[in-house]
Each structure stands twice: as structure tokens, then as C-alpha cells.
Amino acid sequence: MPLYRNFVDFVSNQVIGGIKNFTQNLGLGISTPQAKIHIDGGDNTASNIKFTAGTTTGQSVTDGFDIGITSSGNAEIRQRELSNIDFFTNDVLSARIGSNAVTTFYSTISSTSSTTGAVTIGGGLGISENINAGGTILAPTLSSTTNIITPLIRRTGTSGTNAAGLSITLQSGAGTGTGALSSILFNTADSGASGTASQNITEKMRLSGAGNLLIGTSTDNGNDRLQVAGSANFTNNLSISGNTNTAFTHTGAAAIGSSSLFSFVQLGVLVGSNTRTGLVIRGQASQTANLQSWQNSAGTVLSSVAADGIITAPQFRLSANSTAPASPTDTGVLGETRWTQDFIYYCYATNNWSRFAKDNTWS
């Protein structure tokens, strides 16, 4: 085996066959090589090492695989064939850049933190296309100073007056055919016992595949856009529009807070049980304000029901004359009043009536 101890200058292309042993640094294009093999293409000139496989790849300048440096000083790994670039560790395929530019990592190590898994990234990660995760995406542990949402939704790359912000799309998975529709779940931690045990994570809200928002329940009734299992508190006005027969439906006892206003095109109360009172206005123990107030569009009170039940109105109008009691002891309840063409009847005690003749001659 020839042994080369000193530099040899080649002024033209050379082919070295067999095994050669260089005991000093080998310089290609440089007389003072600084490494075992030192290649220098000269000022503003690219240089590289080319690997070819005969007629399999071809042997021209555009064939094979190159490792080198560009004329601008950038390091370059260039696969000139429509083939993969494979990476091996411990003689086992670990990663591959496919001929279609798809990068695959073959490690089966699961990720349990930001520093474990088949791929770990110490800095930020910018992605211009979709992320399709077959497993669970784990968020980092949150602290009082952690800021995740702001960087996620912050507008970047655009400036100027009145520039529109970027939208966030939360998209559940798509099935096939007539398969069940997927939902978007919102989970938070439950309060636990004092100690170091992790809190349980449970579902608190769900946007169903039908587009219905469920709070406090995971069962979609398939009809209502908003379904709340539990109380709902509105600090400002609640406006409901829609079919006047079904705009607001409640299967239990509905309660409206004293500071809440509901806006309806038409309000109807459909009693769901023959044993329940249709509409109940219940005051506080120390109620002083009116229980009910009917107002015009300007907010002027037209009539009202006071806390003690007294009704105040500018007038009362009957749609038709009443049926007169058959006798002074006819069936009646205290306070009942009836009007006929000739008399006004008043029940002053149970089944006891008095009547007052009308005067049609007054002026």
C-alpha cells in the first residue's frame, strides 16, 4: 500500500485507484489544509464531494449525491436523484427524507414532556400548513406566567392601520359516509383534595357535531343550539329571536333574575304539566318594588302589581258581561266580582253575594 508523507500537487483531474494512505492532511484546492481532508474551491466558488453509482445514477454534474459548500458559503447536502436520503444510528434506519420531500422519523419513543420523543425542538416551531396528529397533543405545564394563547393568535407579518386579525379554526375530525359526527370537547380540571395528587380532568363544555353548544352536559338533544345543565346568569339583556312558538323553551321551572331583561317578539307560556302554575312572579322576603310592571316603549308604567298584590291601572275593561249569581248564596269566593247589564255583584264571603244596581240616569 503506497504511503504518502508529503504533499503532492495535482494540476489536473486525477484518478486514484486502490488504497492510499496519507499520513498528513490532504488539501484539494488549498496548499495548507487544516483537516485530514480540506477542499477549497476558491473565492466565490462552490466546492463539494460527489458520490455516484455508475450507470445507476449517472456520472454527470447533475447526477448522484453532493456534500459541499455553495459559492455564498452555505453548507449544502444535495440529493440529485429522485431517491431518499436515509439516516442510520446503531446501523438502524432512524429517519428518512423521502423523494417526495416527506420526512419520516422511525423512532417509537413516546413523548411525555417537551424534551422526550422521536423529535425534540429546543426553540420555536413555525408551521405554515396543517398538523395532523394521530395521538394526543400534550400542552406544557401552565404557571401564572405562562403565555400560550397570545403568541398563538398574535398577528405576524402584517402591519398598518386597521389590519384584520387572524382567525383561529378549531376543527374536529371528519368521518366517512353516515358515521357519527365528531365534537369539540372543552375539558378542565376538577377541584381535588388537599395534597400532591393530580386533579381529574373532566369535560365541561362541548360543541357537538350538529353545531349545538352543550354546557354541563355531554348529551345532545339534537334540537337546541344552546343546552345548559345548571343555572345561567345574564348580567345584561338577553335577546331571543326565532319562531314565536319555540323561541324559548324550558322543561322545568324557569327563573329570571330581577336584573335581567328578555326581549321577545312574542312571549307565550306553554304549561308543560296540568299540575303546575303557568307563570309565577315571586318577590323577595322584604319586597318593596312592584312584582310586575307593564310599560310602553318609553318606559312609562301603564299598570303594575305591587308587592302586596294591589293592581294599579288607569282602567279595567271587560270583554263581555258576566253571568249573574243565581241567588245571594250562589257559589262564589271572597272578592269575586261580576258585572251584568243591570247590577254589579260582589262576593263578600264564600257563597255570599251582594248586588248593586247601576244608575243609567246620572249626568
Please report the DSSP string for 31-54 in residue order. Answer: SS-SSSEEE---TT--EEEEE--G
- Quick one: average pLDDT of 305-333? 93
Give the CA dihedral 296, 302, 307, 311, nearest 10 degrees.
-140
- Quick one: average pLDDT of 116-122? 84
Q: Which amino acid is at 50?
A: K
* Residue, of 115 and 2, whose pLDDT is higher: 115
* Residue, of 268 and 278, whose pLDDT is higher: 278
- Quick one: average pLDDT of 246-253? 53
Q: Which among 219, 227, 274, 279 has a CA at the least distance from the CA of 254?
A: 279
Structure confidence at residue 331 as a pLDDT band (50, 70, 90): very high
Q: What is the pLDDT of residues 167-188, one digit of tens each?
A: 777 888 888 999 999 999 999 9
What per-residue confidence (pLDDT) applies to 11?
Answer: 56
Give a yes or no: residue 310 inside a domain.
no
Give a yes or no: residue 101 inside a domain.
no
Phi, psi of 54 (to 5 degrees): 55, -135
DSSP state of 177: T
Mean pLDDT computed over every residue of the chain: 82
Neighbouring-strand partners of residue 26: 37
Global pTM value: 0.44
Classify residue 259 as left (phi > 0), alpha (psi -120 to 50) or beta: alpha
- Rounded distance, CA 47 to CA 70, Å? 7
Structure confidence at residue 354 as a pLDDT band (50, 70, 90): very high
- Rounded distance, CA 349 to CA 25, Å? 125
What per-residue confidence (pLDDT) applies to 316?
Answer: 86
Give a yes or no: residue 332 inside a domain.
yes
Residue at which a domain ends, from 231, 252, 280: 231
What per-residue confidence (pLDDT) applies to 90?
Answer: 93
Give a yes or no: residue 239 inside a domain.
no
**C-alpha 285: how far from its chain's center?**
43
What per-residue confidence (pLDDT) applies to 17?
Answer: 64
Give a yes or no: residue 286 inside a domain.
no
Q: Is the pLDDT of residue 136 over 80?
A: no
CB-CB contact of 210 with 224 (8 Å): no
* Residue, of 250 and 300, whose pLDDT is higher: 300
Structure confidence at residue 107 as a pLDDT band (50, 70, 90): confident
Q: State the residue range of the domain holding 327.
A: 318-363
- Quick one: average pLDDT of 214-228? 92
Q: Which among 259, 288, 258, 254 has a CA at the least distance from the CA of 271?
A: 254
Please report the DSSP string for 200-239 in residue order. Answer: PEEEEEEE-TTS-EEES-----SS-SEEESS----SS-EE
Q: Which among 238, 241, 215, 218 has a CA at the least distance from the CA of 227?
A: 215
Number of structural domains the chain divides into: 2
Question: Which range among 112-121, 252-261, 344-353 shows the weakest confidence by mean pLDDT?
Answer: 252-261
Question: Which range among 41-45, 165-169, 224-228 shows the weakest confidence by mean pLDDT?
Answer: 165-169
Give a yes or no: residue 323 inside a domain.
yes
CB-CB contact of 196 with 168 (8 Å): no
* Residue, of 104 and 150, whose pLDDT is higher: 104
- Rounded distance, CA 61 to CA 79, Å? 12
Containing 356, the helix (H) or strand (E) segment is strand 352-357
Give a yes or no: residue 53 inside a domain.
no
Beta strands 213-215 and 226-228: pairing type? parallel
Q: 286 to each of 272, 294, 304, 310, 311, how far by Cα in Å?
A: 31, 22, 18, 16, 19
CB-CB contact of 66 with 57 (8 Å): no
- Rounded distance, CA 342 to CA 324, Å? 10
Structure confidence at residue 190 as a pLDDT band (50, 70, 90): very high
Q: Is the pLDDT of residue 16 over 90?
A: no
Give a yes or no: residue 328 inside a domain.
yes
**Number of alpha carbons in the 13 Å side-chain half-sphere of residue 278:** 5
Residue at which a domain ends, from 189, 211, 231: 231
For the chain, give the percent of residues with pLDDT over 70: 79
What per-residue confidence (pLDDT) applies to 3?
Answer: 47
* Residue, of 18 and 100, whose pLDDT is higher: 100
